């Protein structure tokens, strides 16, 4: 091998080594990183009049507006253990019953242990949690209702976020508005969107 051929061989070897840093060159293709899996948001609610369901639908719309998000919407009585544990984020909505969450929603949280067995492993730990509520009057206990929902989540070591209000989204369903107005629905959409965004950031963060 003459000197020119030797230089050419060495140059080709250097280019091949450099190709490891590029998807092209010398027949080498760097394996593509796996696409991040979709963020799953579970929206669970109780509704008799349909008002809380309308807010739940708005939360769903907001979450779906974030790319790479799958959303499951279910009444609390229909939520399964798989729904709960496979989710990355949970948004719970309740009407106000005597300045508190409804009995159905309280039973849903009680079932976390009695039916789904979240303890002692804290199986909801580090999932995103949020709340929304509907009540008849302006001062009817909506904030207290949301705080009781969030307290149950905090007790399970979830990560709480809010939007549309200090503690979550809420709506007043009686009086001059005659139901949920556009701003309240927009607040619910904002809540769903922020939940999906934060859940996505947490799920796709680089592993240490």
Q: What is the mean pLDDT of residues 88-109?
A: 97
* pLDDT for residue 174: 79
Q: What is the mean pLDDT of residues 78-99?
A: 96
* pLDDT for residue 29: 42
* pLDDT for residue 140: 85
* pLDDT for residue 23: 45
* pLDDT for residue 2: 59
* pLDDT for residue 139: 78
The average confidence (pLDDT) of the chain is: 86
Distance CA 30, CA 19 (A): 9
* pLDDT for residue 173: 87
CB 159 within 8 A of CB 90: no
- pLDDT tops 90 at residue 177: no
* pLDDT for residue 13: 56
As a whole-number percent, the residues of the chain with pLDDT over 70 amount to 79
CB 70 within 8 A of CB 43: no
Provide the pLDDT confidence category of residue 14 given band limits of 50, 70 and 90.
low
Provide the pLDDT confidence category of residue 31 given band limits of 50, 70 and 90.
very low
Q: Which one is the CATH code of 39-203: 3.40.50.360, 3.40.50.20, 3.65.10.10, 3.40.50.80?
A: 3.40.50.360
- pLDDT tops 50 at residue 24: no
* pLDDT for residue 37: 87
- pLDDT tops 50 at residue 21: no
Q: What is the mean pLDDT of residues 60-82?
A: 97
* pLDDT for residue 38: 93
As given in the structure block, the two tokens for residue 47 are: 């509704």
As given in the structure block, the two tokens for residue 60 are: 């769903």
Q: What is the mean pLDDT of residues 143-160?
A: 97
- pLDDT tops 70 at residue 105: yes
Distance CA 94, CA 59 (A): 13
CB 188 within 8 A of CB 58: yes
- pLDDT tops 70 at residue 126: yes
């Amino acid at each position: 091998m003459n000197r020119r051929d030797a230089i050419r061989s060495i140059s080709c070897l250097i280019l091949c080594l450099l190709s490891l840093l590029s998807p092209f060159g010398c027949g080498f293709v760097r394996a593509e990183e796996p696409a991040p899996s979709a963020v799953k948001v579970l929206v669970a609610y109780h509704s008799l009049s349909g008002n809380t369901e309308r807010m739940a639908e708005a939360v769903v719309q907001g979450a779906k507006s974030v790319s790479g998000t799958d959303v499951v919407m279910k009444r609390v009585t229909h939520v399964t253990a798989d729904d709960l544990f496979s989710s990355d984020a949970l948004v719970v909505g309740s009407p106000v019953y005597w300045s508190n969450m409804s009995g159905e929603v309280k039973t849903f949280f009680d079932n976390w242990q009695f039916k789904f067995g979240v303890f002692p492993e804290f199986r909801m730990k580090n999932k995103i949690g949020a709340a929304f509520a509907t009540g008849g009057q302006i001062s009817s206990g909506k904030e207290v209702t949301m705080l009781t929902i969030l307290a149950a989540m905090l007790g399970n070591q979830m990560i709480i976020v809010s939007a549309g209000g200090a503690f979550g989204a809420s709506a007043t369903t009686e009086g001059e508005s005659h139901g949920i107005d556009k701003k309240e629905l927009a607040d619910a959409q904002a809540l769903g969107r922020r939940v999906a965004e934060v859940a996505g950031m947490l799920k796709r963060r680089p592993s240490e």
